[in-house]
């Protein structure tokens, strides 16, 4: 799919994998709408790459619609990357045998609401807009990439909420692709492994911690780079024969229980 001049929405686009994806899409000639809650970083990035910023809470359908309408005003909307998400860790039961110490359902619902429901809500609204665009050669109108995690398959101790949300995104891929095939919209899912982001901090202790995290990576023995994930996202968007796939980008890691 030729993306030059086409509009892409990248949720969670102000940092991490989303930022790297926004940069690579812009470098390929796409017009990028950075959709994020981080206003300062999002605006700065949008200015740098010649795109636009829209402050969006992915749990708010009205804000999603506003972002999609903004993207439509910038050109033909053909791409959505759902990268926004949060994590939360807690074991299912506490150590004291009380119901009160069991997993906090407020957080379970919040993680599902942002990571899974937010991704589907954005996909259904963006796909509706894409369905009204003029098709390219071969009938293609657009493409969606949802970001999941290897935790969807190898969830660790304490990751019940996060793994549930990311497993839901895996399950979403095929039926969503089947639903949208009728209007020429492809859907793929990218599952990152351990990615080197600022969350791990800096300095000697940080490097030792990341080295420990890398012990189960087959090769190369390191954390992944956001740019490596972004390149796979861009490939899924631009390769017109990529559809309904879930792709692990993880150096061959299989996560241990803890």
Per-residue pLDDT reduced to its tens digit, 4-26: 999 999 999 999 999 999 999 99
241 assigned to active site: no
Rounded percentage of the chain residues whose pLDDT exceeds 70: 99
Q: Which residues contact 178 (CB under 8 A, 6 or more apart)?
A: 244
Task: Place 148 in a pLDDT band, splitting at 50, 70 and 90.
Answer: very high
Q: Is the full-model pTM beyond 0.85?
A: yes
**247 forms bridges with which residues in the sheet?**
190
Q: What's the mean pLDDT when you consider all of the chain?
A: 96
CA 168 to chain centre: 13
**Mean pLDDT value across residues 244-255:** 97
pLDDT higher than 70, residue 111: yes
- Bigger pLDDT: 56 or 206? 56
Annotated catalytic residue: which of 88, 99, 108, 162? 162
pLDDT tens digit sequence for 192-246: 999 997 667 778 888 887 888 899 999 999 999 999 999 999 999 999 999 999 9
Rounded percentage of the chain residues whose pLDDT exceeds 90: 93
pLDDT tens digit sequence for 59-72: 999 999 999 999 99
Query: Strand, helix or coil at 88?
Result: coil
pLDDT higher than 80, residue 88: yes
pLDDT value at residue 199? 66
What Rg, from alpha-carbon coordinates, does the chain have? 18
Read out DSSP for 190-209? EEE-SB--GGG-SSHHHHHH
Neighbours of 187 (CB within 10 A): 27
| Domain ranges (residues) in the chain | 7-249
* Candidates 3.30.1600.10, 3.40.1280.10, 3.40.50.720, 3.10.580.10; CATH matching 7-249: 3.40.50.720
**195 forms bridges with which residues in the sheet?**
224
2 burial (CB, 10 Å; 0-12 / 13-18 / 19+) is middle
pLDDT value at residue 173? 98
Q: What's the CA gap between 211 and 200, in Å, rounded?
A: 11
pLDDT value at residue 254? 96
């Amino acid at each position: 799919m030729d993306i030059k001049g086409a509009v892409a929405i990248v949720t969670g686009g102000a940092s991490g994998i989303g930022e790297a994806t926004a940069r690579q899409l812009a470098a390929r000639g796409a017009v990028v709408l950075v959709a994020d809650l981080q206003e300062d970083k999002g605006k700065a990035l949008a200015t740098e790459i010649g795109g636009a910023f829209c402050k969006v809470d992915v749990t708010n359908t009205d804000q999603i619609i506003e972002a999609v309408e903004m993207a439509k005003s910038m050109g033909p909307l053909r791409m959505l990357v759902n990268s926004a998400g949060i994590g939360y860790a807690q074991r299912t039961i506490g150590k004291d045998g009380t119901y009160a110490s069991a997993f906090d359902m407020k957080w379970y619902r919040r993680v599902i609401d942002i990571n899974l429901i937010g991704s589907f809500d954005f996909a259904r609204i963006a796909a509706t807009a894409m369905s009204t665009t003029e098709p390219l050669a071969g009938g293609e109108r657009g493409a969606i990439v949802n970001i999941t995690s290897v935790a969807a398959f190898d969830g660790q101790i304490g990751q019940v909420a996060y793994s549930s949300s990311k497993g839901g995104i895996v399950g979403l891929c095929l039926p969503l692709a089947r639903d949208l095939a009728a209007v020429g919209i492809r859907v793929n899912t990218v599952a990152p492994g351990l990615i080197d982001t600022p969350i791990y901090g800096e300095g000697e202790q940080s490097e030792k911690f990341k080295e420990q995290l890398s012990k189960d990576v087959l090769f190369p023995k390191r954390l992944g780079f956001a740019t490596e994930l972004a390149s796979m996202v861009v490939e899924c968007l631009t390769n017109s024969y990529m559809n309904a796939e879930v792709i692990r980008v993880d150096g061959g890691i299989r996560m241990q229980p803890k």
